Amino acid sequence: MSIYLDYAATAPLRPEVRALLTRCYNQDWGNASSLHRDGHAARMHFEDARERIARCLKAKVEEIIFTSGATEANNLAILGWMRQQPKGSHLIVSAIEHPSAWEAAEALSYEGYQLDFAPVSRDGGLDLEAFRALLRENTRLVSLMAVNNEVGTIQPVEELAGLNRSWKLHVDAVQSGLLGWPDLSGIDMLSLSAHKLGGPVGSGCLFLKQGLRLAPLLMGGAQEDHRRAGTSNVVAALALAEAMEVTRARRTEEVSRVTELRQGLEAELSDIPGSVRLGSQRSPHISSWFFEGVRAEPLLVRLDLEGISASSGSACSSHSLEPSRVVTAMGFEPEQARGLIRFSFGHGTTSEEVESVARRMRQIVDKARRQDGT
């Protein structure tokens, strides 16, 4: 039996999205920028998707920019905004951001911009006092994820959005679909990705508050009001809209169900000697652990041999032998950070699957420890 507990990396397609994709790919589609009837039909479908996404976010249609995913959306927000500012301008990102935000910000530091990484507490939440101490008169951007992708901590987006400020706030909301997307009233930019919601890989969007402009990353066309060149991906846009609508409609029942699943798993794992659960104030769909004396790799291999899919944190960094940057930023030792195991749940996870994993984890950990001689 195969058990998939890696929804924070990517979620299986929701049945509604799969049905939509089948319908779309069985039709003839024109280029949405073409003037003939096929192009006009494609444009109508494309703009319908934009309207549906705007309704989900309670945004204006002109505030939605379609992208190839959240990596591009994060890059467009951070690089696109800061490259319009004078060299020497300052930006802040938290120390536990996704690599697509972290590395975009780091690239700016080599272009003459000033960068600070805001520290987090042992529980994985932004240290607000330390963050305020980093603010400067020339701070132009703050980027913060709504829910951390490795340990699931919910970040204080509302507190930052409510500050009296001259800087812009970008929020990576990729992992916040289960709990609900943040209120946009105090947010300037927000990134989303379809494949975390049961949509396809390669589909995302950036909310950009009306009146703001970004330096484009992609050039060569007038698409997205000159903000993002490239042939409009009509099917990807429709799939993102469908995934968002289904997620929103089923949110209440799924929060309750997933919370119960996580609690059951954590009750069992906490009884394993040397187990440490990471984070507090977390989204229900993520449960991250390390087991003293065991690195992540042998555990993940044994889990995979048992037919269980989990991860050691961000899928974008899964092939790195370095310790989790998120866990070390939380104050844990590098050797502990190398043991990070993340279980994440979603719309297709069953109680039987979680119970099976909970029963088998003690044996898996014991075998890994004996193999390592610990």
Q: Helix or strand or coil: residue 231?
A: coil
Task: Clarify whether 24 is annotated catalytic.
Answer: no
Q: What six digits make up the tokens of 202?
A: 């390669």
Closest by Cα among 41, 99, 5, 8 to 361: 5
Q: What six digits make up the tokens of 10?
A: 């990517």
Distance CA(346)–CA(5), nearest Å, equals 8
Paired sense of beta strands 90-94 and 139-145, if any = parallel
Entry field: residues in the chain? 374
Name the β-bridge partners of 208.
Answer: 189
Q: What six digits make up the tokens of 228?
A: 């993002």
Given the residues 24, 56, 205, 316, select the one marked as catalytic: 316
Distance CA(345)–CA(196), nearest Å, equals 11
Distance CA(276)–CA(132), nearest Å, equals 30
Residue spans of beta strands (DSSP E) within 102-203:
114-118, 139-145, 168-172, 189-193
Q: What six digits make up the tokens of 96?
A: 């536990």
Closest by Cα among 224, 240, 242 to 43: 224
Q: What six digits make up the tokens of 60?
A: 């204006």
Catalytic center residues: 316
